[in-house]
A and B are shown apart, each in its own frame.
Chain A
Amino acid sequence: MANQSKQPPEAAVKKKKSSRLPNSARLAKLVIQRRTLALLLIFGVAAFLALFAKAYDLTIRQHDQLQDSASSQQMRSTVISASRGSILDRNGVTLAVSGSADTVFLDPRAIDNYANELDKKRAQKLVDGLKDGEKLPMSGQEYKDLLAGRLSEILGIEAQTVYDNMAKTNWQYAVLVRRVEKEVSDQIRAFIVDNETGASLQGVHLETDSKRYYPRSSLASHVIGFLDGDNHGAYGLEALYNEELEGTTGLTVTAKEAGGSEIMFQYEQYYDAEDGHTIQTTIDSTLQYYLERGLEDMTAEFGAKNGACGIMLDPKTGAILAIASTPNYDLNSPRTIYTERLQSQLAEADEENPPEDGSEHSDAYWELMGQLQNRQWRNKAVNDTYEPGSTFKILTLAMALEEGVANRNSTYYCGGSVHITGVEEPIHCSNRNGHGSQTLKEAVGHSCNPAFIKMGLDIRSATFYDYLDQFGLFEPTGVDLQGEGTSIVHKRETFVSADVYVATYSFGQTINVTPIQLIAAQAACINGGYLYQPYVVEKELDSEGNVVKQHDSTPIRQVVSEETSAMVRECLEYVVSDGGGKNGQVTGYRIGGKTGTADKTGTKTADNPRGDVVVSFLCFAPADDPQVIMLLTMDTPARQEITGVYVSGGNYVAPTASKIMADVLPYLGIAPQYDEDNQTAAEGTVPYVMDMSKDEAAAKLADYGFASYRTVGDGDTVTDQTPAGGAIVPTGAEIILYMGAEKSGEMCTVPNVEGMTADEANRTLVNAGLIMKATGASGRGAKAISQSLESGSEVTAGTVVTVQMGTMSNVAD
C-alpha cells in the first residue's frame, strides 16, 4: 500500500543518513572541528593581538617621532625674509642700511647632467653626420670651460674655483660669490640668456639676498659693527641689537606632494614677516668725524703703539656723541686690514716667512692677519682698562670737596715727594723740586701728587673706597656696546689695610678702569654731581617710524653736590687757563680740563728707563655749563727722543683735544666770546660788497668788523672780492677788493710759522697774502705748534690758515 510508506521524506533521509554515518567519518569530523578551533584561535585572535600591538607601537609610542619625520618631508616652508633695520646717527644720518644684492650660485648636478647630455648629443651627431651648415654641438667639457672662463672673468674669481664648485656633482647649490654688486649681477644675467651655447645656461643661478651697506665706511666702526656671512650681526650694535634689527622672518608652510607640487586645500600656515627695527644712536656723525680725524692726526704725529681712543659724552644725559678707537677699519670690508701701518706689518710677515710654493701667503701671515683683525675691531674705549693717572685726580678732588676735607681756601705744601707710612720709597711729585705752598686751585693746576695724596688720606680709605663705588667704578657701566670691560681694583679689606692704596689711587695709579667708566665718573664730577649711564642707542623705531623704545636717561644717583661740582669745574678751568692744560685752550671758549700721564706699571726696562706711559686729556666746555665732555687717551706714544716733545698728556694730547673742540663747540651752536686778549682770533662773516663803490664797501666791511682792506685796480665799483662774501675769517684779516681788475688768482706760498708767537705768525702769514686763524693756547709763552696748511704749499691769496697755539712745558702732568 502506498499509505504504508507515507513517512516524511526529509526526516527519513536524515535519520537514515546520520545513522548510516560510519564511525570513521564521525572521527574525521571531530578532528576537523578541533583543528579548526585551533586555527580560529591562531588566525582570529592571536594574529590580531600581535597586529594591534604593532599598530599601537607605531601610532602611539612612535607617533611624535614618525610624525615629525613625515612632516619634514611633507611640508615646504618658504622663508619670507624681513628687511634689516638701519642704524642712524642722532640726526637721522644713515650709518648702516640694507639693500638687496644677488648671490651667484651653481647647480653642479644640473651642470653635470647637461654636460652629459651635450656629450650624448654630440656623439649622436657624429654618428648621424652633420647637415650642411650645421655645427657640431659643444662637448660637456667645452660647456664647463665656457662657464669657468666667463664666470671667473665676470666675478673676478679664479677659474679653478668655478671648476672646483662644478665638481661637487652631488650638490645642487654651490655658492660662487655672495652678494655681488648690481653691475656684476646684470652681467651674469646677460650671460645666462645670451651666450655661445645658443640657449639659456643650465645650472647658473642668481638669488636675491640682502647686503649691508655702510655709507660712511669707517665712521663709528667700533660702535656699528658688521654682519657675518649669513647676514647676522657679528660685532658691534649689529650684533648687540641683532634681534631688533633683524626683525622676524616670515614663514609659509604648505603641504607638498612627493613630486614637490603643493597639495591643494591641505594644511597651510602663514607667519608674517616683521621688518627689523631701526636703531637711532646718540652718535653725531659730524662730531664722530672730528674725533676720528683728531685721533688719526694725533697718532700719526706721536705714533701710539697700542692705539688711542676717545669718547665724547653729553655730560647731562650720558649720551655718547662720539666714540672712536684706533686702529680703525672699514665696515664695508671688515676683514681687510685698514691702516697702512698694520698693512705693512702684514707684508713684513710674508717677507720674513716666505709662503710655501703654491700658497699665496705664509701661515704666519694668516696668523698675524687674525690678530690684526681683532686689534682693529677692538674698541679700546670700552674693552680695555688702563691706569688713568692724573685725570683720575678729578674724582679725588670732588671727593675731598664733598667730604669737606678741602675747600677753596685749603693750602697744600709740596716738597717734591711725600713719605707714606709703611712704604720705604717716597712718592715723588712730577716736579722733583716741589711746588712749595699752593692753594687748592694751584695744586690742581700743578697736578701736584703730594697735594692729592694728602686729600686722599684726609678722605680716609674707607670713604674713598665708598666713593669709588658711588662713581660706578666697580662695575661695568652697562653701556650698550659690545664686550665692555671693567675695572681692576683692590679688595676693600686690602684697600683699607694700608695708606699706600688710597695714596696711589688718589693720583690715579694702581687702579685700572676702562675709559668709559672713567669719563662717566668724571662727567658726574662736573655736571652737578649726577652719575649717568653712558649709552649709544637713543631709540628704536619700527618700520613705520614709530618709536618702539626710547632711552631713559635719568641719572643713576647723585654722587656729589652741585656746589662741589661747581668748584671742580672752577679748578679744572684753572688747569686749562693757567695750569698744566694750557694746550687744551680753545680760543673764545671757556674750557675745563685735566691732563694725565700715567706710568704703565711694569714697563720700565733698562733701555726704556722711564717706562711706557698712557697720555690722556680730559676736557669739557663751556666750563661754567658743560655741554660736552671728552676724554682722549693714547697708549704708549713715541718717546721724547723721537718726537722731540716732552711726553705728557698736556703736550701730546691736549693740542689735539683743542683742535677737536675748536670744531665741535661751534658745531654744537655754542657761540665764542672774545675778550681783549684774543681779539685777533675773533671771527666775522665777510659781507658781500660787489657792485658797491669803494667807500660803500669800506663802510660795510667796517660794519662787519673788518677794518683793513686793500684795493686792486682802479675802477669805480667792486667787481670781485677775496675772501668771497659769506666766508668766516678772523676780523683782523685784510680783505682784497678788486676794482675792475681781474681777480688775479695770485698764488702765495705758505710760510712756516711753527714756533712763532701768535703775533709773529699773524704778521708772517699776512705778509704772505694769507689770513691766519689762531686757535689753542693763548697768553705768554704760547707758540704755534702746528698749522693747517703745510709750509711751502701754493694756495690762492686770502686763504685761511689755522694755526694751533700751544705751550710746551717739560713738566709731567
Chain B
Amino acid sequence: MAQKRPRPVKTRNGIPLTRDEYRQLKRQKEREDRRKRQEAWEAARGPLDLPFLLLAMMLLAIGLIMLLSASFPAAQSSSNLKNDGLYYFKRQTAFAGLGLFAMFWVSKINYERFRGLARLGIIVSFVLLILVMIPGPNRYGRLLALGENGAARWLGIPGTSLTFQPSEVAKLGVIVYFAESISKKREKMKSFKEGFLPHVVLLAAITLLTLVEPHFSGAILIFGIGAAMMVVGGIHWGWIAAGAGSVGAAGYLVLFTDFMEKVVGYNASRIAVWRDPFAGDLNWRRDEAWQTIQSLYAIGSGGLLGVGLGKSRQKFGYLPEAQNDYIFAVVLEELGLVGGTLIMILFALLIIRGFWLAIHARDRFGSLLIVGVTTQIALQTFLNIAVVTNFMPSTGISLPFFSSGGTALAIQLVEVGIVLSVSRQIPAPKAR
C-alpha cells in the first residue's frame, strides 16, 4: 500500500524522523562534535616542557633570594620605604606570585589564539608608547607618565607599585605581531617588498618611539628582538649581512673611535669610562665612572668563592641600584666566580632549551613566538652581565628573574607561559 508520508528512517526518542529531519539533525550533531573536538584539542594537550619550566623556576627562586640580599641595605636605609629592609623582596615576591598565576593560565591557552591578538597588541603598544610621551602638567612635564630614577617612562596608578613601562608591553607586542606576520609570509619573507620592508618599517617606528621616550636600553632590546625574529623568519641573507655589517660598523665607530664626540657631539663619557674606568681624576670617577668602578670592585672582591651569601659590602651604598641593574655584581661578590658561573649556566640552559623548543615547535608561529621570547631573555641577560662586568658600556638593562621590577617580572613570566603553551603542542617523538 502506498503511503504518502515518507517512510521514517530513524526514530528519535520514539519519534519517527524524516530523511530531511535526520540529515538536519546529523549535520547539527556533526557541528557539535567538531566544536567539541576543537575544544578538547585546545583544552587538553601535551604536557608542559618540564626542563624549561624547571630552569625558569630555579632562576626565579635564586633571583628572589639574591634580590633580598642585594636590596636589603638600600631598602633599610631608605626613609621613603619606611626603612623596611624587606620592601623590595616582598613586592617582588608578590609580583612573582601574580606572574606565576598568569604564566600557568597563559600556558593553558592554545597559542594559536594569540594570532588574533597580534594586530591589537601592536596597536596597544603604539598607543601606550605615545601616551607616555604626551607632554603635560605633571612634575615630569608629562600628562600621564610616571617617573622613576629620573626617567619618565612608566604608566600606571601613581603612588602604588602597579606601574609598568610601555616598552615592556611593546616587546611582547612586537614578539606576537612579528610571529604572526612572519609565519604567514612563508617564502615571501625573502622578498624585500613583502618580507623585509614592512617589518623593518614597523620595527624602526616602534624602536624610534622607545628611543625618544627616552629608553635607550628598551629600544636596543626591541630592535634586537625584532631583528632576530626577522632573521629567523627567513629574510634574505643579504639583509642579514647588511644589518650585521652596519651594526658592527656603528659599534666600532661608537666604541673605538671618537666619532660620537667629534661628529655627533654627544658626550661620550660612558664610552670613555668603559675604555678605562680608573682613568681620569677623582671627581670624574665620582660621577660617571662611579657605578662601573663600584661594580668592578664588587666583582673583584668576590674572587673564586665569593664573600658569602648576604655578606656583600658593596651593596651598602657603594653600588648604585644594587637591587636592580647591578644585582649581578652583588651575586659575583657574594657567591664568587663559582656561584656566578652556575647562575650563568642556568641562564644558558634556559636559553638553549628555549631555542630547542623553537626548533621543535609545531608550526612557524609557535617557533617564532619562542624565538622572540628567548631572544629577549638572552639579550637582557647578556647585556646586563656585560654591563656589570664592564664588557660593554653601561646602559640600564635589568636581569631577568633577578632585578627588582614587579611588572617586568610578571611580563617575563607571562612570556615564559607563552613558551610553555607552545611547548605543549610539540608532537611527542614517534615511538618507532
Taking beta carbons and an 8 Å cutoff, which residues of A are in contact with B? 2, 9-10, 24-25, 27-29, 31-33, 35-37, 39-40, 43-45, 47-48, 50-52, 54-56, 58-60, 62-63, 65-67, 69-71, 73-74, 255-259, 263, 266-267
- B341-374 CB mask vs A (1 if < 8 Å, else 0) is 1001101100110011011000110011001001
- How many Å lie between the Cα of A32 and that of B364 in the bound state? 7
24 A-B pairs with CB atoms under 8 Å apart are: A10-B41, A28-B183, A28-B189, A28-B234, A32-B359, A32-B371, A36-B358, A36-B359, A37-B355, A43-B375, A51-B389, A52-B344, A55-B341, A58-B296, A58-B300, A59-B303, A63-B302, A66-B301, A70-B313, A70-B314, A74-B313, A263-B313, A263-B316, A267-B313
- How many Å lie between the Cα of A28 and that of B364 in the bound state? 8
Q: A36, B300: Cβ atoms under 8 Å?
A: no
Q: A27, B187: Cβ atoms under 8 Å?
A: yes
- How many Å lie between the Cα of A10 and that of B297 in the bound state? 60
Report if A29-B311 is in contact (Cβ < 8 Å); known contacts: A48-B344, A58-B389: no
Taking the nearest CB of chain A, how far is it from the CB of B254, in angstroms?
A: 19
- How many Å lie between the Cα of A10 and that of B33 in the bound state? 12
Task: Specify which chain B residues have a CB less than 8 angstroms from the CB of A62 in the assembled complex.
Answer: 296, 300
- How many Å lie between the Cα of A51 and that of B301 in the bound state? 17
Taking the nearest CB of chain A, how far is it from the CB of B350, in angstroms?
A: 9
Task: Specify which chain B residues have a CB less than 8 angstroms from the CB of A9 in the assembled complex.
Answer: 33, 37
Task: Specify which chain A residues have a CB less than 8 angstroms from the CB of B185 in the assembled complex.
Answer: 28
Q: Is B70 close to A, CB under 8 A?
A: no
Determine which residue in A56, A66, A74, A255 has the highest number of CB atoms from chain B within 10 A of its CB, and name it: A66
Q: Which of A40, A43, A56, A65 contacts B337 (CB 8 A)?
A: A56
Closest B residue to A58 by beta carbon equals B299
Q: A66, B317: Cβ atoms under 8 Å?
A: no
Q: B355, A25: Cβ atoms under 8 Å?
A: no
Taking beta carbons and an 8 Å cutoff, which residues of B are in contact with A? 26, 33, 37, 41, 73, 77, 183, 185-187, 189, 228, 231-234, 296-304, 311, 313-314, 316-318, 332, 336-337, 340-341, 344-345, 347-348, 351-352, 355-356, 358-359, 363-364, 367-368, 371, 374-375, 378-379, 382, 385-386, 389-391
Q: Which of A32, A66, A263 contacts B368 (CB 8 A)?
A: A32
- How many Å lie between the Cα of A66 and that of B344 in the bound state? 22
Q: B352, A63: Cβ atoms under 8 Å?
A: no
Closest A residue to B357 by beta carbon equals A36
Closest A residue to B234 by beta carbon equals A31
- How many Å lie between the Cα of A267 and that of B314 in the bound state? 13
Task: Specify which chain B residues have a CB less than 8 angstroms from the CB of A259 in the assembled complex.
Answer: 77, 317
Q: B371, A36: Cβ atoms under 8 Å?
A: yes
Closest B residue to A68 by beta carbon equals B300
Task: Specify which chain B residues have a CB less than 8 angstroms from the CB of A66 in the assembled complex.
Answer: 296-297, 299-301
Q: Which of B231, B318, B367 contacts A258 (CB 8 A)?
A: B318
Q: A43, B232: Cβ atoms under 8 Å?
A: no
Q: B231, A35: Cβ atoms under 8 Å?
A: yes
Closest B residue to A61 by beta carbon equals B300
Q: A32, B367: Cβ atoms under 8 Å?
A: yes
Taking the nearest CB of chain B, how far is it from the CB of A51, in angstroms?
A: 5
Task: Specify which chain A residues have a CB less than 8 angstroms from the CB of B231 in the assembled complex.
Answer: 35, 39
The 6 A-B residue pairs whose C-beta atoms are closest, nearest first, are A66-B300, A258-B317, A40-B355, A43-B378, A70-B297, A44-B352
Closest A residue to B317 by beta carbon equals A258
Taking the nearest CB of chain A, how far is it from the CB of B380, in angstroms?
A: 11
Q: Which of B189, B355, B363 contacts A44 (CB 8 A)?
A: B355
Taking the nearest CB of chain B, how far is it from the CB of A371, in angstroms?
A: 42
Task: Specify which chain B residues have a CB less than 8 angstroms from the CB of A39 in the assembled complex.
Answer: 228, 231-232, 355, 371, 374-375, 378
Task: Specify which chain A residues have a CB less than 8 angstroms from the CB of B297 in the assembled complex.
Answer: 66-67, 69-70, 73
Q: Which of B183, B337, B348, B368 contacts A55 (CB 8 A)?
A: B337
Q: A266, B313: Cβ atoms under 8 Å?
A: yes
Taking the nearest CB of chain A, how far is it from the CB of B301, in angstroms?
A: 5
Task: Specify which chain A residues have a CB less than 8 angstroms from the CB of B336 in the assembled complex.
Answer: 59
Taking the nearest CB of chain B, how far is it from the CB of A262, in angstroms?
A: 10
Beyond A54-B386, A73-B297, 7 additional contacts (C-beta under 8 Å) are: A43-B355, A55-B341, A66-B299, A67-B300, A67-B301, A73-B318, A257-B73
- How many Å lie between the Cα of A47 and that of B379 in the bound state? 9
- How many Å lie between the Cα of A494 and that of B149 in the bound state? 89
Taking the nearest CB of chain B, how far is it from the CB of A391, in angstroms?
A: 65
Q: A60, B367: Cβ atoms under 8 Å?
A: no
Task: Specify which chain A residues have a CB less than 8 angstroms from the CB of B382 in the assembled complex.
Answer: 43, 47-48, 51
Q: Secondary structure of the A side of the interface?
A: helix
Taking the nearest CB of chain B, how far is it from the CB of A21, in angstroms?
A: 9
Taking the nearest CB of chain B, how far is it from the CB of A557, in angstroms?
A: 60
Taking the nearest CB of chain B, how far is it from the CB of A209, in angstroms?
A: 28
Task: Specify which chain B residues have a CB less than 8 angstroms from the CB of A37 in the assembled complex.
Answer: 355, 359
- How many Å lie between the Cα of A50 and that of B299 in the bound state? 16
Task: Specify which chain A residues have a CB less than 8 angstroms from the CB of B367 in the assembled complex.
Answer: 29, 32-33, 36
- How many Å lie between the Cα of A63 and that of B306 in the bound state? 11
Report if A55-B187 is in contact (Cβ < 8 Å); known contacts: A44-B348, A63-B300, A69-B297: no
- How many Å lie between the Cα of A47 and that of B374 in the bound state? 14
Q: Which of A36, A48, A60 contacts B355 (CB 8 A)?
A: A36
Q: Which of B189, B304, B314, B351 contacts A40 (CB 8 A)?
A: B351
Task: Specify which chain B residues have a CB less than 8 angstroms from the CB of A255 in the assembled complex.
Answer: 313, 316
Q: A54, B232: Cβ atoms under 8 Å?
A: no
Taking the nearest CB of chain A, how far is it from the CB of B115, in angstroms?
A: 15
Taking the nearest CB of chain A, how far is it from the CB of B101, in angstroms?
A: 28
Task: Specify which chain B residues have a CB less than 8 angstroms from the CB of A24 in the assembled complex.
Answer: 186-187
- How many Å lie between the Cα of A103 and that of B161 in the bound state? 54
- How many Å lie between the Cα of A10 and that of B358 in the bound state? 23
Closest B residue to A46 by beta carbon equals B382
- How many Å lie between the Cα of A592 and that of B367 in the bound state? 117
- How many Å lie between the Cα of A44 and that of B355 in the bound state? 9
- How many Å lie between the Cα of A24 and that of B189 in the bound state? 11
- How many Å lie between the Cα of A45 and that of B302 in the bound state? 24
Task: Specify which chain B residues have a CB less than 8 angstroms from the CB of A29 in the assembled complex.
Answer: 363-364, 367
- How many Å lie between the Cα of A63 and that of B348 in the bound state? 25
Task: Specify which chain B residues have a CB less than 8 angstroms from the CB of A257 in the assembled complex.
Answer: 73, 77, 316-318
- How many Å lie between the Cα of A60 and that of B340 in the bound state? 13
Report if A55-B332 is in contact (Cβ < 8 Å); known contacts: A28-B364, A40-B352, A43-B378: yes
Q: B378, A60: Cβ atoms under 8 Å?
A: no
Closest B residue to A75 by beta carbon equals B313
Closest A residue to B386 by beta carbon equals A51
- How many Å lie between the Cα of A65 and that of B359 in the bound state? 45
Task: Specify which chain B residues have a CB less than 8 angstroms from the CB of A35 in the assembled complex.
Answer: 231-232, 234
- How many Å lie between the Cα of A32 and that of B385 in the bound state? 28
Task: Specify which chain B residues have a CB less than 8 angstroms from the CB of A48 in the assembled complex.
Answer: 344-345, 347-348, 382
- How many Å lie between the Cα of A50 and that of B378 in the bound state? 14
Q: B232, A55: Cβ atoms under 8 Å?
A: no
Closest B residue to A69 by beta carbon equals B297
- How many Å lie between the Cα of A258 and that of B386 in the bound state? 25
Task: Specify which chain B residues have a CB less than 8 angstroms from the CB of A256 in the assembled complex.
Answer: 316
Taking the nearest CB of chain A, how far is it from the CB of B425, in angstroms?
A: 12
Q: A65, B300: Cβ atoms under 8 Å?
A: yes
Q: B352, A45: Cβ atoms under 8 Å?
A: yes
- How many Å lie between the Cα of A259 and that of B298 in the bound state? 17
Task: Specify which chain B residues have a CB less than 8 angstroms from the CB of A45 in the assembled complex.
Answer: 348, 352
Task: Specify which chain B residues have a CB less than 8 angstroms from the CB of A67 in the assembled complex.
Answer: 297, 300-301, 303
Task: Specify which chain B residues have a CB less than 8 angstroms from the CB of A25 in the assembled complex.
Answer: 186, 364
Q: A47, B41: Cβ atoms under 8 Å?
A: no
- How many Å lie between the Cα of A546 and that of B432 in the bound state? 94
Task: Specify which chain A residues have a CB less than 8 angstroms from the CB of B340 in the assembled complex.
Answer: 55, 59
Task: Specify which chain A residues have a CB less than 8 angstroms from the CB of B77 in the assembled complex.
Answer: 257, 259
- How many Å lie between the Cα of A130 and that of B412 in the bound state? 62
Taking the nearest CB of chain A, how far is it from the CB of B299, in angstroms?
A: 5
Task: Specify which chain A residues have a CB less than 8 angstroms from the CB of B351 in the assembled complex.
Answer: 40, 43-44
Q: A55, B299: Cβ atoms under 8 Å?
A: yes
Q: A74, B318: Cβ atoms under 8 Å?
A: yes
- How many Å lie between the Cα of A60 and that of B26 in the bound state? 76
Closest A residue to B382 by beta carbon equals A47
Q: B186, A63: Cβ atoms under 8 Å?
A: no
Q: B379, A43: Cβ atoms under 8 Å?
A: yes
